[in-house]
C-alpha cells in the first residue's frame, strides 16, 4: 500500500494542485490529510473541494480548522494567523464548514498514528520542533509510526537507545522494531527556507518513507493573497519559504 500524506495546505491552491499532479505519478493507493487545509491562503474553498475529491481515508483536524470552527481560542494565534482565521471563516460556506467539523483530532490507521501536532495534549496543538519533542510523542505512541504536520518543517525522527535521532532527508527505511515520527512538512506555507511544497509518501510493502518537494506558481498564490485583503506578510513569506 502506498500512502500520500498531505498537511498544512493553508488555502494555497497553486501549491496543492502541484502536489496532487505529482502524487498522480506516484501510484498512490490512499490519501491521508493531517490538517490545516485552510488558513493563511486565499483559496480555502478550492482547497476544501480538492481534498474532498481525493476522498482521504483519514481527515485530521488542525488548529486552523478548530479556529475557523470556533473550537479553539483565537488568542492562540499570532496577529496574521488570527486575521486569516476570521477571513477564512467568512469565506467558507456552511457546507464546507460542516465538512471541516468532521475532521478527527487523532486516529490510528494501518498501524500508524495520525495527529496534527504532538501526541502530548493533541487538543493543544503543541509543536514537534526537535528531538526532545519527538521523543515525548514516541513515548505516547501505541504504533511504531506517527505522521504529523503543524511545524511546517519536514523531518524524520527515529527512536534509538532511549532517545530520538533526526534522520537525513529526504527519506528513510523503516526498521520494524523502532518508532518513528514523520513530519510531512507544509504544502501551502513551508518554513524550512525551501519554498517548494512538501508532502510525504510511505510504502508499507518496501517499508520506505520519503519527503517530496514540488515547485509551484508562487507568484500567483502571492497575488491572490494580496488581492484578497489578507496580510501582505502571508504573501511575501511564500517565496522565502519561512
pLDDT digits (tens, 9 = 90+) for 130-140: 999 999 999 99
> What Cα–Cα distance (Å) separates residue 228 from each residue in 18, 91, 158, 184, 191?
22, 10, 41, 28, 22
Across the chain, where does the E strand assignment appear?
2-6, 30-33, 58-59, 106-109, 112-115, 145-148, 155-159, 164-167, 171-173, 180-183, 197-203, 208-214
pTM for this model (two decimals) = 0.95
Q: How large a percentage of the chain has pLDDT more than 70? A: 100
Q: Identify the bridge partners of residue 157 per DSSP, sorted by sequence position.
A: 166, 181
CA neighbor of 200 nearest in space, from 119, 146, 128: 146
Task: Read off the C-alpha cell for 123.
Answer: 487538543
Q: Which domain holds residue 121?
A: 2-240
Q: How many domains does the chain have?
A: 1
What was the pLDDT predicted at 20? 97
Distance (Å, whole) CA 97 – CA 22: 28
> Which helix (H) or strand (E) is 95 found in, with range?
helix 94-100
Q: What is the rounded CA–CA span in Å between residue 79 and residue 97?
A: 22
Task: Check whether 176 has a pLDDT greater than 90.
Answer: no
The stretch 142-170 carries a mean pLDDT of 93
**With bands split at pLDDT 50, 70 and 90, how would you rate the model's confidence at 168?**
confident
CB 128 within 8 A of CB 151: yes
We report the CATH number of the domain holding residue 126 as 3.60.21.10
CB under 8 Å to 9, separation ≥6 — which residues? 15, 16, 36, 37, 38, 41, 47, 51, 186, 187, 188
60-64, 108-112, 181-185: which has the minimum mean pLDDT?
Answer: 108-112
Structure confidence by residue, pLDDT tens digits, 66-101: 999 999 999 999 999 999 999 999 999 999 999 999
Which pLDDT value is given to residue 109? 85
Burial of 161 (0-12, 13-18, 19+ CB in 10 A): exposed
Contacts of 219 (CB under 8 A, 6+ apart): 239
Amino acid at each position: 500500500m502506498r500512502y500520500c500524506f498531505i498537511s498544512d495546505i493553508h488555502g494555497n491552491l497553486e501549491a496543492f494542485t502541484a502536489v496532487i499532479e505529482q502524487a498522480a505519478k506516484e501510484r498512490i493507493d490512499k490519501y491521508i490529510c493531517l490538517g490545516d487545509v485552510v488558513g493563511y491562503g486565499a483559496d480555502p474553498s478550492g482547497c476544501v473541494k480538492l481534498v474532498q475529491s481525493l476522498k482521504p481515508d483519514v481527515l485530521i483536524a488542525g488548529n486552523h480548522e478548530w479556529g475557523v470552527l470556533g473550537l479553539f481560542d483565537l488568542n492562540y494565534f499570532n496577529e496574521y494567523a488570527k486575521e486569516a482565521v476570521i477571513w477564512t471563516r467568512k469565506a467558507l460556506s456552511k457546507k464546507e464548514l460542516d465538512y471541516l467539523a468532521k475532521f478527527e483530532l487523532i486516529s490510528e490507521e494501518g498501524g500508524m498514528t495520525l495527529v496534527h501536532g504532538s501526541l502530548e495534549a493533541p487538543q493543544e496543538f503543541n509543536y514537534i520542533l526537535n528531538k526532545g519533542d519527538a521523543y515525548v510523542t514516541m513515548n505516547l505512541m501505541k504504533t511504531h509510526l506517527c505522521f504529523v504536520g503543524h511545524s511546517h518543517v519536514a523531518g524524520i525522527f527515529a527512536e534509538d537507545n532511549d532517545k530520538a535521532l533526526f534522520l537525513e532527508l529526504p527519506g528513510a527505511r523503516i526498521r520494524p522494531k523502532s518508532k518513528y515520527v514523520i513530519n510531512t512538512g507544509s504544502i501551502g506555507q513551508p518554513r524550512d527556507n525551501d519554498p517548494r511544497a512538501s508532502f510525504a509518501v510511505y510504502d508499507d510493502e518496501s517499508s520506505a518513507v520519503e519527503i517530496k518537494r514540488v515547485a509551484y506558481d508562487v507568484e500567483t498564490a502571492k497575488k491572490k493573497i494580496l488581492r484578497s485583503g489578507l496580510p501582505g506578510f502571508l504573501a511575501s513569506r511564500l517565496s522565502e519559504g519561512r
